[in-house]
Amino acid sequence: MAQSSSMKLLGARNMSCIVERMEWNNKMDLIAYGTEKGEVIIQRLNWQKIVTFPTPGEDVRVRSLSWQMDETLLAVGYSNGKVALLDAESETIISGLIYEDDIKKVYFSKAINCRESIDSYVCNAKDKHKRYLPKLPPLTNIDPCLKTLDQKCFPKGSPCFLVVIMRSGKVHLLLLGALQAGSMDLTQHILHPEHFDVYDVRLNGDFNAIYALLRDGHQLKLLHFHNQVLQDSISPMLELAAHCAHILETKNYINDTQQCLTEAWETVQLEMDNKLTKYANSQAYGMISANFLELLVFGYATLEVEEFLFETLTEKVFKKIANSVDLSLNNMQGLVFKQLNGAAINMFYFLNTIAGFGRMTHFFDALISPDVASEAMRACGAFLLKVHELQRTIDTLVNDMKLFHSWIIFTILRLSNQEIPDDMIFSGKENEALVEFFCGMEPELSDPELCDVDVDTEGEEKCTDESSSELCPNAMLVSRSKFNLERVGQYLENSYLTQQQPLQVTEDLWSELLEENECLAQCQLFVPHDKKLSLLQQRDKMFNAIDAVFHKPTESISASFKLNTTVICSDLPQFACEPSPELDQQHEFINCSYHVNELNKCDMLAVTISWQEAMVLEISRGDDYMLRCTRVQLLPGPFTPQLHEDYYNLRFVDLQFYNESSISMLAQTITPTPGVRPHSYFVQFSLSAARNQSTQHQLAPLMKLPEGTVTHSIHDIPDAATFKGLDGVCELLAVSGSRKVATVLSDRRRKMTIFEMEIEEEEDDTEMSQASFLEISKESVLADKTDA
């Protein structure tokens, strides 16, 4: 197909700040760009802004942008080590990752299409769980703004890899944005780690190898790593990654529910602390229970109780407190019974499925350890038991508090000689329940004679035992929760339980059976029930067991990377001459672009190896293991006809693959005279026209391309390059062959100009005269005034 070189100006605008990164969506008319402030802005072709995502922190820069294939999902890498997945459609942050090092680049691979064969695994578990599991109810109580990056849903759409490249040389692969699918450290495969820099790392088109373009000492190298696990297990990995995403989403849901539970419990404590606990703190240990029992049994109220009931606490105030406490406790009941219980059941289902996968060793042997998966199931079962335990504790507290609130109102009415409604008369069982509640209102001491406890002027209990310098048991009473609310609160703390819920008859019999049969207690088929752990501790224990399930795929894939080929592309100048990280915001000495050619089944890499020279590598994925190399330079050759004077002093600024048959380049004149502005040119280079100038090589463990290739002038290849003059000093390029658009940044990256590519001849209006760019400037000024 003949590539049209025509360009049509669509518009230009002066931006409000410096633009550092640009990326076109391959399907929709959306362009994303990162600013010097660390913001990410997504806009349409007609300059309409869709959404602006703020910077994640102060002095944070945008390092990389990448759209997911045919989706509205954008991956952003930041200088502080954060990777965020942004959804342009919903205008939200989908999820995020945090690394300890500066990000070099992040990108989405092409969509994964697994080829089915007789002996291959068929991945067909797409949302199969929806047939059996009810949808978890939404958490309306939680504020979406309080969610962190790692507490949201994972991206949907075409399955693909997310590759994160660190400046330190570490590379992380994630499948579906959830499953850690291996990592590697490039510094372990070079000769000069002290003179190292990584430029790009790419997955090949078959997802069984990666290419790493890097500096090793004074050489520019392309390393080819093959991975057998990726080659053999890509379809099972998709199955495992889908369940990993569901598990991580369920973990986030459990965390959100835990947050809602904590907020509801803090509301209960706040209401109790306002009036009730203030009174309780003024009483010596044991007096609260004694006074209330005396009032219940004998009907006699002490002066302190009467003052509390009629001055501190009136009937109206207490009813308000009781309603608020009941509402919060009912909310907690719903969160535990519906949300937390449902999430635990969902988690058990997903882990059970993964354990089943582990039994299919032919496909999942390198990915899943059945014993580890079974242990995660047992930890999940233990968490479910702890949820039921908390549910019973809350139910008991709800009943006790309702009875206590009714009795307080009844007592206020009786002592004030008011009429008592008939429905407020307590039965014998209710009176017995009140006696038990009052007796358990304050924790019992194991030995009350160990020390004396006095109440100070502030109402706090202090130990008066001077015979021991160590902390005595009663010294813990200063922070004790009056009215014994810690029976529920202790489950929401990261510490062991101090009060145990009374066992039911069936639980008591089961505990006796386990104590009498040690072999039964140690059987792996039964779920353990640790009565000492809080809900928070049991949750963390389950999460750790789940994390262990996904260690094996990471370890197996990471260990399977084998260096097959080292390609020496060129010799580089001294490392000290390289641009620093602060200067790479302008343009680096090495610029590269990658493209997967599905038609010819090859991987294509274009890279500038000097200011005037570039190299295009085409690596076959077939059985021939061939590498095709095309080297071109901007300088004219010895037999080049007379050219315009600008063409004798050009250097590369940027380059990108437009499609599989052409490369878009941005070039600039070198002006030795100070104060003279350089001229910029857009170059469309045809690979098909330059095919006869390329050399072919058989892939070998070590290849030295400078010794077996010839550099050709871009001007000497017939019909290969088309030059278009641009206005201003252009520094950055973004193109999209599927959208047929090109964008350049000029005027110190403050002016964005958009062109439409491949225009029919009768529509061609790209004569880049001074008059045409004068019109562009006028349009930009008018647009800025309109925005203002």
Q: What is the pLDDT of residue 452?
A: 44
Q: What is the pLDDT of residue 443?
A: 58
Q: What is the DSSP letter of 598?
A: T
Q: What is the pLDDT of residue 224?
A: 96
Positions in the chain whose pLDDT score sits under 70 = 1-5, 115-120, 122-127, 140-156, 271-278, 311-314, 442-486, 500-508, 521, 574-588, 760-788
Residues 6+ apart with CB under 8 A from 483: 272, 276, 277, 280, 288, 441
Among residues 764, 714, 744, the alpha carbon closest in space to that of 614 is found at 714
Q: Which two tokens stand for residue 131?
A: 């047939």
Neighbours of 506 (CB within 10 A): 8
Neighbours of 448 (CB within 10 A): 13
Neighbours of 515 (CB within 10 A): 10
| Chain position carrying tokens 């088929």 | 525
Contact 163, 186 (CB under 8 A): no
Among residues 63, 65, 31, 163, the alpha carbon closest in space to that of 109 is found at 163
Among residues 658, 661, 617, 660, the alpha carbon closest in space to that of 213 is found at 617
Residues 6+ apart with CB under 8 A from 136: 253, 339, 342, 343, 346
Contact 632, 690 (CB under 8 A): yes
> Beta strand pairing status for 82-87 and 73-78?
antiparallel
pTM: 0.81
Contact 374, 256 (CB under 8 A): no
The phi and psi torsions of 460 (rounded to 5 degrees) equal -100, 145
Q: Checking phi first, is residue 242 left (phi over 0); if not, alpha (psi -120 to 50) or beta?
A: alpha
Distance CA 362, CA 315 (A): 71
| Order of all β-strands in the sheet with 82-87 | 62-67, 73-78, 82-87, 92-98
Residues 6+ apart with CB under 8 A from 732: 19, 22, 587, 653, 654, 666, 744, 745, 749
Distance CA 712, CA 720 (A): 11
- Per residue in 324-359, pLDDT tens? 788 888 888 888 888 999 999 999 999 999 999 999
- SS3 state of residue 32: strand
Q: Which two tokens stand for residue 172?
A: 């992380």
User: Residue 494 is which amino acid?
Assistant: N
Q: What is the pLDDT of residue 605?
A: 97
Distance CA 770, CA 781 (A): 17
> Beta strand pairing status for 602-608 and 613-620?
antiparallel
- Per residue in 426-470, pLDDT tens? 888 888 888 888 887 765 554 444 344 444 434 444 444 444 334
The helix (H) or strand (E) run that includes residue 171 is strand 170-175
